Structure 1
Amino acid sequence: MSRIFTAQNFPFILAVVFIFFFGIMGIAPVSREVWVAEVIPVAGIFLLLCITFPLFRFSNISYGLMAVWLFWHTIGGHYTFAGVPFEWVTDLLGFERNHFDRIGHFAVGFYAYPIAELFVRRKLAGPIVTTLFALFTIMSVAAAYEIVEWQYAVIEGGKSGLEFLGSQGDVWDAQKDMLADTLGALATLILFWVFGKRWGSRG
């Protein structure tokens, strides 16, 4: 058993756990239409990581960070982000809205870590360009996703459109979501440059 749970096998174990979790969260979601829309990017990222694994294996830290968003977004797809049972956090901190989606956006920023890791290990650029590219990539994805949310809400309309948009009545929701993505990227880029070598993220 100890031979299975090794650092070398971490990505495989994580993938198996995620597949099982994804299947469970796909059972009787609150809104099947919202679930389909939400899990498309999750499934796309997961399949991309599986396909590229033989070509480039990220560090376990990178896979762990990327998995946070995969799991978090899958939960949001099951309940809809505004409907996730997150009241205890809302009540504890005195929030007026469910911030489960904000944390999910912050987790999107975690993908800046593997982007930086790829650039460093492949020697594609120096520290400044690597940092800026990783940061701007996350910011671009954040902006693009807000546009997708907007268009889905317009095209789909009705309750499912509003649930997918998840603004919860906040007129600045899109801007705050993009800020959360950016802050997540900045936080993980700091982790990368401060602790990356110690954690084995650089080759």
Structure 2
Amino acid sequence: MTDKAARIFKIYPHILSILFMLLFVLLAINPVDRDVWIVEDTPIVITFILLVFTFRFFRFSNYSYTLMSAWMFWHTVGGHYTFANVPFDFITHLFGFERNNFDRVGHLVVGFYAFAAAELLTRKKWSGPVLATFFGLFFIMSIAAWYEILEWIYAVLHGGQAGIEFLGSQGDIWDAQKDMLFDMFGALFALVLFWIIRPDLKIDKHVSAA
């Protein structure tokens, strides 16, 4: 690894975090629905804080940070507009969709966290790559199921327009099932990448070089 590449490798997570914070602050200003923004952005803030405070104890690969940031950026936009109302008409009309599928893409990128889960397990030597792959998939599927349950509980308890917007079903009776399916698709994609890249075999050399 050249000196320039090593420097870029070292600061890459910091660049992502700065870009995320700028976007977060910008979209925190006057969201479409403040109640929805709070419940949608709370998981993002918690995830970001965890990654920041654990960085010095465990540095994921830049592949993981890229994949994890995809959800954080996407979800921040969704939280500002509410997912059903994000300006996504170009894609909707291009493919002839009957609904705004910005939230479907959001669930897809949630699945990308399977890559980080598999990397953590293998680099910490808590499991082999095969078991880590299954854990990554099951981890995402459990998160997907719990999130759909939380959406339902919030919609029932809160009610009103905020409850409807947070649920985000847009009249689709199979919305929850489709959301979980897209979470799984994202996880499968990320795990295929994991096996292609195998960060557990490369990252330590890069860290030493940096």
Shared fold (TM-score greater than 0.5)? yes
Unpaired runs of at least 5, structure 2: 206-210
Structure-2 change in CA distance of 1:6 and 1:97 (3 Å): same
* 2:112 match: secondary structure: helix
Partner of 1:21 in structure 2?
23
Question: Any residues of structure 2 matched to 1:57-76 within 5 Å, and which?
Answer: 57-76=59-78
TM-score (norm 1): 0.95
| 1:142 equivalenced with 2:148 (yes/no) | no
Partner of 1:100 in structure 2?
102
Partner of 1:182 in structure 2?
184
Give the Cα separation in 2 of the matches to 1:197 and 1:115.
12
Partner of 2:10 in structure 1?
8
Match of 1:85 among 84, 87, 109: 87
More helix by share: 2
Unpaired runs of at least 5, structure 1: none
1:120 Cα shift?
1.1
TM-score (norm 2): 0.92
* 1:123 match: secondary structure: coil
Give the Cα separation in 1 of the matches to 2:122 and 2:200.
14
8 Å contact 2:119–2:199 — kept in the other structure? no
Match of 1:40 among 39, 42, 47: 42
8 Å contact 2:61–2:199 — kept in the other structure? no
Question: Any residues of structure 2 matched to 1:129-168 within 5 Å, and which?
Answer: 129-168=131-170
1:5 Cα shift?
6.8
**Structure 1: which amino acid aligns with 2:20?**
F
Give the Cα separation in 1 of the matches to 2:149 and 2:121.
28
CA offsets, 1:127-163, max 9 Å, x none?
2211111100000000000000000000110101000
CA offsets, 1:94-130, max 9 Å, x none?
1000000000000000000011111111111122211
Give the Cα separation in 2 of the matches to 1:43 and 1:5.
27
Structure 1 segments of 4+ aligned residues over 2 angstroms from their partners: 2-5, 195-203
* 2:111 match: secondary structure: helix
Partner of 1:116 in structure 2?
118
Give the Cα separation in 1 of the matches to 2:101 and 2:6.
37
Structure-2 change in CA distance of 1:181 and 1:201 (3 Å): farther
**Structure 2: which amino acid aligns with 1:151?**
I
CA offsets, 1:41-75, max 9 Å, x none?
00000001001101100001100100000000000
Question: Alignment length, in residue pairs?
Answer: 202
**Structure 2: which amino acid aligns with 1:116?**
A
